Structure 1
């Protein structure tokens, strides 16, 4: 599948890829989640200590919940993105534990209740696992179109030591995505069947 640089094409491709991932059955989704856990664990992609950012799956996204639970089991701290309450179009990352108080944001996605004491500064993360709608082998990521991750992660362009890893189903790969100035490329993409180093 090839994407050219127009916004219309991006919107059309986004729709097609979202339909593809939503078409996966509950059993396929569950198998994909467990395969993701095994891929990340076997490749030793998790840090020895520190914070890892995740997301809660929505709209057919690859579900990282088994991986999150594995992090809890081995003592890694996890966080989730929250719509920033003061800076529009940005995300905050809040500590996420099995007993975290949750609420739904304006998109209907569960997120931890925003409490200052639970904020994890971006630069304290060792790995940030991001959802995506589409990807190519160069690490380019097509998101949902809101630009939240690109704006939030823009400060990491010059940062070292933080790995950005996209999680996706294999059906979300495309041949090429146009790179925009504001796009934040990924270091790696993990699917249930592959690890793609970019």
Structure 2
């Protein structure tokens, strides 16, 4: 098991690198890089329910994933009833409100969805699909539950600077199936 201190130090270092990288991009350059990543993402997304996230700060934004999607394509987003509750996915309909973590989420009345494809935010990732997120384990617990119930494909979306050589995985960490950056697509699992 990875020491919580060493994982937190790595998380802080990766977050700082991501923040510095994104701040240095002019708006047109950032838009171009995000468009390249979205193009790669759209090339791998298949049929079924997609789940995405609403980017915060220096995270690469998947907002344009719905561009050119079929008009009836269901896209779900993370949803929390409370800070202690398990993360669920609810259908996004363009109306979002602040959830218990201050993150925008669909309303509690939106239909709950079981995603087939999940675009996962991250702080850092290695070529084997081991990721470091915000540190609360919400995605790991949700992915474990979804994988117990059937197949789900997970896709980490990241700036190239967030890809590192190796991240020590803890037993509860859920690896990603694919990693998409503006310059590459990495398949980590068959």
TM-score by length of 1: 0.84
Per the alignment, residue 108 of structure 1 pairs with 102
Per the alignment, residue 46 of structure 2 pairs with 47
Q: CA-to-partner distance for each residue in 1:14-64, whole Å, 9 max, x for gaps?
A: 1121122222134443222201121123x3x1223x210000001311100
Alpha-carbon shift at residue 161 of structure 1 (Å): 3.3
Alpha-carbon shift at residue 158 of structure 1 (Å): 4.1
1:133-172 maps to which residues of 2 (within 5 A)?
Answer: 133-172=123-162
Per the alignment, residue 36 of structure 1 pairs with 37
Asked if the contact 2:81–2:100 (Cα under 8 Å) also holds between the matched residues in 1, the reply is no
Asked if the contact 1:89–1:151 (Cα under 8 Å) also holds between the matched residues in 2, the reply is no
Q: CA-to-partner distance for each residue in 1:113-149, whole Å, 9 max, x for gaps?
A: 111x5211x3xx2211110111001110111001100
Asked if 1:7 is matched to 2:4, the reply is yes
Asked if 1:68 is matched to 2:58, the reply is no
Asked if the contact 1:36–1:67 (Cα under 8 Å) also holds between the matched residues in 2, the reply is no
Unaligned runs of 5+ in 1: none
| In structure 1, distance between residues paired with 2:75 and 2:131 | 22
Aligned-residue CA RMSD (Å): 2.0
Alpha-carbon shift at residue 185 of structure 1 (Å): 0.8
TM-score by length of 2: 0.87
Instruction: Select which of 109, 112, 122 maps to 1:119.
Output: 112
Asked if the contact 1:29–1:63 (Cα under 8 Å) also holds between the matched residues in 2, the reply is no
Unaligned runs of 5+ in 2: none
Per the alignment, residue 59 of structure 1 pairs with 57
Instruction: Select which of 85, 88, 96 maps to 2:92.
Output: 96
